[in-house]
Amino acid sequence: MGREVAESCVDSVVIEMVSAYCSRLYSTHPEIAARRIEAIGFQVGHQLSERYTMERPRFSDHLEAIKFICKDFWSELFKKQVDNLKTNHRGTFVLQDNRFRWLTRVSYDPTPANSDVSPASDPSQVVDKAAQATSMHLYFPCGIIRGALTNLGIPCAVSADISNLPACSFVVRIKV
Amino acid sequence: MEDYAEEIRTPPVALVAVVGVPALHQTISAALHVEQPPINTLALPDFSRISIMTSKQKETLDSSPPGGIMKRDWLAKHRTKIPAVVAALFNYDHVCGDPAQWLQVCTDLENLKAVIRGRNIKLVVVLVQSTVNVDTSEDRLIALRKRAEIDAKYLLVFVQSDPSELKLSLNRLATVFAELSHAYYREEGRKIRTRIEKKIFNSIELYVRYCFKVAVYAEFRRDWAEALKFYEEGYNALREMVGTSTRLPPTQRLVEIKAVAEQLHFKVSTLLLHGGKVSEAISWFWKHVGSYKKLTGLSNVAFLHWEWVSRQFLVFAELLETSSTTIQSTTSPLSKKPLTEWEVQPAYFYQLAAKYLREKKHCLDQTLSLSESSGESGGTKAGESSLESVVPSVYVGQFSCILEQEEAFIMQPLTDEEYVLYAIAEGKRFQESYEIIALLKKSFDLYSNAGALRVASYCSGQMAREYYVAGDFSKAKHLFDGITDLYRKEGWVTLLWEVLGYLRECSRKLGSQRDFIEYSLEMAALPTVSNSGMITTDHKGECGPAGPTSQQQKEKIQREAFGFLSGELQLFLNEGTNSSIDSTEIQPIELEIDLVSPLRAALLVSVAFHDQVVKPGVPTLFTLSLLSQLPLPVEIDQLEVQFNQAICNFTICKLEHPSSVADSSGPLQTETIPNLTLVTNKWLRLTYTIIAGQSGKLECLTVICKIGTNFKICSRAESPASMEELPVWKFEDRVESFPTKDASLSFSGQRFIQVEEPDPQVDLLLDSSGPALVGEDFVVPVSIISKGNAVHSGELKINLVDIRGGGLVSPRDMEPFSPDSLHVELLRVSVSNENESETGLDSIKNIQQSFGLLSVPFLDIEESWSCKLEIRWHRPKVVMLYVSLGYLPSNEATAQKVHVHKSMQIEGKTPLLISHHFMMPFRQDSLLLSKIKPATDSEERETLALDEISILAISARNSSEVPLRLISMSLEAEEEVVVKPSGEVSAELAMLVPGEGFKWVFSVIPQSAAPSIGVGTVSLKWSRDLPNSGEIAPRITTKYKIPVVKVERPPLMVSLECPPHTVLGVPFTLCLKIQNQTPLLQEISYSVMDAQSFVLSGPHNGSIDILPKSEGILCYKLVPLMCGQQQLPRVTVTSSRYAARLQLSIAASAVFVFPSQPYFEMDGKGIKRLPATSDTQATLSVT
Amino acid sequence: MIVCVAVVGHQNNPLYLQSFTEADDALKLHHIVHCSLDVIDERVNNPKKTGPTLNETFLGLLYPTENYKVYGYLTNTKVKFIMVTTDLDVRDVDVRNFFRRFHSAYVDAVSNPFHVPGKKITSNTFAQSVRAIVKSFGSSTAV
């Protein structure tokens, strides 16, 4: 399929979606907003995995499917492969992307905008708040990974970890 | 396969005959039977019976066309009557006996030869001897051989006396038989083969027959390849006959050809399968079926054709199954064609056999109904009378009529009409339904053993259908019920619909109203198959009794069900079978819908509390949501909601029917609502307030739906948060809405709520003061003040928990309950009440190390009660103290317990840090060898000099945050040391503010040398310094054990003698005394370093020898040059024997220089003089 | 001629089933498709030891019934495609080609944002493209 869209459009849609759910639709219930965003990601991942696995033989085990996510699937979505894959061989996989494309534009302002309140609040709180906002943006890719893996017959739970910003690691825990 | 005669089913076995000497027959036939290949024996006891082999002469080559293709009994004849070899057994005595006997032998032999001559049967003569070494007369033997006209090797001598000889004889016999029978069958076969090759036959029937015979002879010889070749040849020729032969009327002709084809096919298949060529056999089979399947013949005998086809499948299935053991081992390498493993499943062939048998039944029914409608004609009557005389004729696949004419039976050919009548009459006698079911059952069993659930279900469904057609509804229902689960689970709506349609009809026929309603509701609530092209408009019985799945059908079914319930429709009227049920009367029907019921689609009940916790007596919102997938709206008359707390139950009913409720449920709460109608796929949401009665869990259990007077649906309530999707509907693309308006409630709503206890009206106060100190009994006063509630049967629970979760017991300590191992301990609870005797009686006191439980006496409102907890810390630790009070606010039986919890963090601190310190007396040092060469394993143990005074300083520092008062201190010395001062030393109530320290000095003289000697234990008594001095705080003793020391005898002692102070410019003497305590001469070298502040006279360095047990003295005269604290010149003494150096510490080698003679007394407060030491040796001050 | 095509979900539930016959054998075709799931199960659980066909999406001829041939295809996402044909002489290439086109039509259908994963396919566009693929089956070898 040759239909393509500009990357900036995808970025804008993702950012707009997150902000719509977080600040407008469910501003008081961040957990429902997260759930909704994750569900959208799930469907997208579900459908994308359907398309991207079309011309390949079936995967014989979980590791093969995860490798597919790390290589081909990631390349299709983010134009690069996952940088590091770790596993404990008991159903947990960590996919680390040192420069996660959807986070490259994310930064937070160290000097808070509304300065009348914040002098009292310490800088770690600001960082916390920013991390929370960023994590809202990660429910969507988590949902995508979960949707793709679920569609490949691997029910799992996916969480993301952002320790230093452009890098991001996704933790996949396969349900048994 | 059982229908086939034995001779067809099994491969032919060579036959030999034995005549004469009947005593041996049993032995011989048994021996031949176990030969490889086996030989069957025809035993004729004497020669009079040999005529059995002389059957009538055959017709061989007459010109008239044969009456049929194959004779029915030909094969049987060759297998049981006509032997390949005849063995004539003669007793040796008879042969060599008197002439009369010999003559008899000759006659018998002649007769036998006459019989076998025409058939070319081989002859063997056996001479039976009782023993070996009877000399045989050659003449007689030759004569016998001549008479029999046989080769010498076919005249055998049979010895029966000796077992080994007998065995040998039998073997000889068997070899000869095998050879001769093989020759016989070969010759016979060749004879007929030449006829085929020279085309000496005038009809194709004969050709087929010859092929068959050649093949059978080949089989006798076990020449499978040739047998197969000729069977196939005959089969192919036969197939060509279908259009050409005109000998018989068409129907019978076809029947005959098929019968022969069946036999030939069977032989071919058997040979192929036994040869392991499974794939060939299967493709041969399909060819066979394919070439005959179209030959149905006339429509009125089509059933015969289908019966035949069905039999082909059945027989092949049985063949496959019996040879399946060989298949498994050989099939995989052989298969060249893309055969799947499914095609070799016998189950598949059984299934097809059943299918064609059903086809046969269908055709037979048609034929019967046709003949019945036109059955009045007289011709049939006449025919029927003659039918009884129809028998199978001599030819395979032919029938003829036996007519009795003048005491003889004449076989008369039948006309086609007669034959058809006969066939129909025969066909009527069988019950195909049960045969079909048996076939399907077999197929079902095989499939389910192979784990093919779905195909097995299909077979099961087909069986059920047959039972249904046969009118056995309960069996049909049982089978249908077994397969619905699979279809439900996998969401095959069309298949489920068909099965449910049958089930609904079955339960109607069986008169089970409840089942009928259940199946009807389930069907009506199924999704409609949306693919328009899936079901075409024209249906002919394919869809089962319920017709196709469509919206109209569903609506019809729902209308029927509810119409029946309301009494408008009478569906059970027409059934005569269940007369026991009065069909006009409808029993009350109560359906139950649980979490796995398929009827959830018809009625789904979801209930959710809006809150998660609630206080008793406080109203909370509760939403009841109902969903139905039934196609038509359902009017509910009344809803009953039931909880686990019956007081909360309530009913909802329509406005029109308030009267019907009022009488039935007096105490129940009743709500009314204008409309209670469920519309397809639309939640009916009803929200009410509920007031929980008791604390604990309030759970909604069931919702009972009443429709009309006789119908009740009892549904388990489900939480929206954990609601499963509807099994069949979950794959449907439908509009899904939430059971509650609030989406988040749909995600998290639960059908139960936690009801909290009421708010306590009692205060629980913990009054503590500051940190606790290790060792003291720390007191925590607890007071209970009732404000609004009286306290009945109150109970106080006390719990001490380590804040780091490590437990209050050190894990390393092995004894679990020794008080030392316990870090923090709850000692006792003292109740400080006036009337202690009363409380002491009924109070339950249960005190453990970290847990306490005691009862609280009754307290009326505004009363209070208090107690004191005493807790002791053994180690410094932070502890949480939890105190909770449980009580009943009233003494009624319904009263519920109320709890008040309080907690407090208490830190246990060490009050005093005690440390110790050893030193030598001032300006004195001893050479301790272990100090010079520290032992490798030494654990930093102090070393003291034996019999010399060592100074022990003990300091105590207040490390707590409160001022402490020291009372006294004592050092309990061990036996090996002398300590001064001994006993208790008062500290004179020295007060220590936080951070302040206090020191004591003891002198210690070790009495014996040993590597480890205990010095003693320090006991320090102290108390808190209470601000209001009226009270006296309890005294607490803290113990401190001084670590063990090492004691050794020093070889050398050095002491410096010098005035305590000097005056500028006034000379003084500095003496260094070196005491040799050893019995050896010690050589000492010394060196003095100049000091700036003094002028020194004396040698700077040199060496002296010190005699044993004596003292060497170095004396210097010094003149101070500067004032103040000045460093004396440093003198270093080196013992050459020990290669050790002694040097006094810098502090010890300093002296204060006054500018001029001082004029004050060196005496005052704070200066202590130890009595044992001189002024110059030690001055210690307490700071 | 192809008489029936079906898409079966990973819980063995029918997602799409379309027959192309005039006769009223729809129910029979349902049964055939449903029974063929047993064969797919067996194929997937006990794959043949032969190397190249291992884990291939195309499962080949599932089982020949008397009048039909049933072919199967299993995607990576555990969705099964089943095709029933009356042609007795079918070339493997044609069937593979058919399934390839069918798969891409399926992917287009489920990528529709209004399609909910795991639910039946009700798209008309899908039905049309399936009809076109079925019609062109066997007529052109290389598409």
List CB contacts (< 8 A) between C27 and chain B: 494-495, 498, 542-543
Percent of chain B with pLDDT over 90: 0
User: What pLDDT digit, counting tens, does each position of C81-94 carry?
Assistant: 999 888 777 788 88
Joined together, the tokens standing for residue B83 give 């032997």
How far C25 CA lies from chain A's nearest CA (Å)?
32
Terminal Cα-to-Cα distance of chain B (whole angstroms): 121
Chain A contact present for B932, CB below 8 A = no
Quote the longest CA-to-CA distance of chain B: 184
Residues of chain C found within 8 Å of residue A59, distances taken between Cβ atoms: 55, 76
A13-27 pLDDT per residue, tens:
888 888 888 887 777
- Give the pLDDT score at B657: 55
Nearest to A54 among C54, C107, C115 (CB): C107
pLDDT at position B47:
73
CA distance B497 to B494: 5
Best CA proximity match to B1120, nearest among B1056, B1063, B1160, B1038 = B1063
Instruction: Read off the tokens for B1042.
Output: 């001084």
- pLDDT tens for B591-644 read 888 888 888 888 888 888 888 888 877 888 888 888 888 888 888 888 888 888
- The single residue listed with the structure tokens 């819908």 is B593
State residue A174's pLDDT score.
87
Supply the Cα-derived Rg of chain A in whole angstroms.
Answer: 17
Alpha carbon distances (Å) from B877 to B807, B823, B903: 11, 8, 16
Q: What is the dihedral of CA B173, B81, B397, B229, to 10 degrees?
A: 20
The residue among A107, A147, A146, A114 whose CA lies nearest residue A130 is A107
Say which amino acid occupies B185.
Y
Residue B285: both structure tokens together: 């089979």
Kindly tell me if the per-residue pLDDT of A171 is higher than 70: yes
CA neighbours closer than 13 Å in the CB half-sphere of residue B98:
1
Nearest to B177 by CA among B139, B121, B225, B224: B121
pLDDT digits (tens, 9 = 90+) for C35-77: 888 888 877 776 665 544 567 778 877 777 777 888 888 888 8
Q: How far apart are CA B700 and CA B610, in angstroms?
A: 13
Using alpha carbons, select from B867, B949, B961, B860 the residue that is nearest to residue B907.
Answer: B961
Query: Contact C19/B533, CB-based, under 8 Å?
Result: yes
Chain C segment 86-105 residues within 8 A of B by beta carbon are none
In degrees rounded to 5, what are phi and psi of residue A110?
-70, -30
pLDDT 10s digits, A2-52: 577 788 888 888 888 888 888 877 777 777 888 888 888 998 898 888 888
Q: How far is CA B140 from CA B93, B161, B544, in A?
A: 11, 22, 87
- Contacting chains of C (3 CB pairs or more, <8 Å) are A, B
DSSP structural state of residue B847: E
> Which of C9, C14, C24 has the CB atom closest to B542's CB atom?
C24
Chain A residues with beta carbon closer than 8 angstroms to that of C111: 47, 50-51
Q: What φ, ψ does residue B152 adopt, rounded to 5°?
A: -60, -35
Say if residue B452 is exposed, middle or buried (CB neighbours under 10 Å; 0-12, 13-18, 19+).
buried
Q: What is the length of chain A?
A: 176
Work out how many CB contacts closer than 8 A connect A with C.
Answer: 51
8 A C-beta contact, residue B637 and residue B653: yes
* Phi, psi (degrees; rounded to nearest 5) at B851: -145, 140
More confident residue, B865 or A108: B865
Report the pLDDT value the prediction gives residue B1149, as an integer from 0 to 100: 77
Q: What is the mean pLDDT of residues C97-107?
A: 89
Q: What pLDDT does A128 receive?
A: 67
Interface test with C, best of B351, B459, B531, B737 (most C CBs within 10 A): B531
pLDDT (0 to 100) of residue B70: 73
Minimal-distance CA residue of chain A relative to C118: A151
Cα B745 to the center of its chain, rounded Å: 35
Residues 107-166 of A with CB under 8 A from C: 147, 151-153
Return the H-helix or E-strand segment holding B60.
none
Give B806's contacts (C-beta < 8 A, 6+ positions apart).
Answer: none
- pLDDT value at position B936? 56
CB–CB of C76 and A152 under 8 A? yes
Question: Which amino acid would we find at residue C51?
Answer: G
Residue of A25, A27, A32 to mutate when probing chain B, most B C-beta within 10 A: A32
Q: Does the beta carbon of C74 lie under 8 angstroms from any beta carbon of chain A?
A: yes
Restricting to B residues 730-759, those with a Cβ less than 8 Å away from any Cβ of A are 743-744, 747
Residues of B in contact with C67 (CB under 8 A): none
Residue ranges of chain B whose pLDDT lies below 50: 57-63, 326-339, 376-384, 532-541, 573-583, 661-665, 810-819, 834-842, 1164, 1166-1183
Q: Tell me how close the Cα of B357 comes to any Cα of chain C, in angstroms.
A: 15
Nearest CA in chain B to A31: B744
How far apart, in Å, do the first and last CA atoms of chain A sit? 35
ipTM of the modeled complex: 0.91
Check residue B1181 and give its pLDDT: 37
| pLDDT in the model for residue B579 | 42
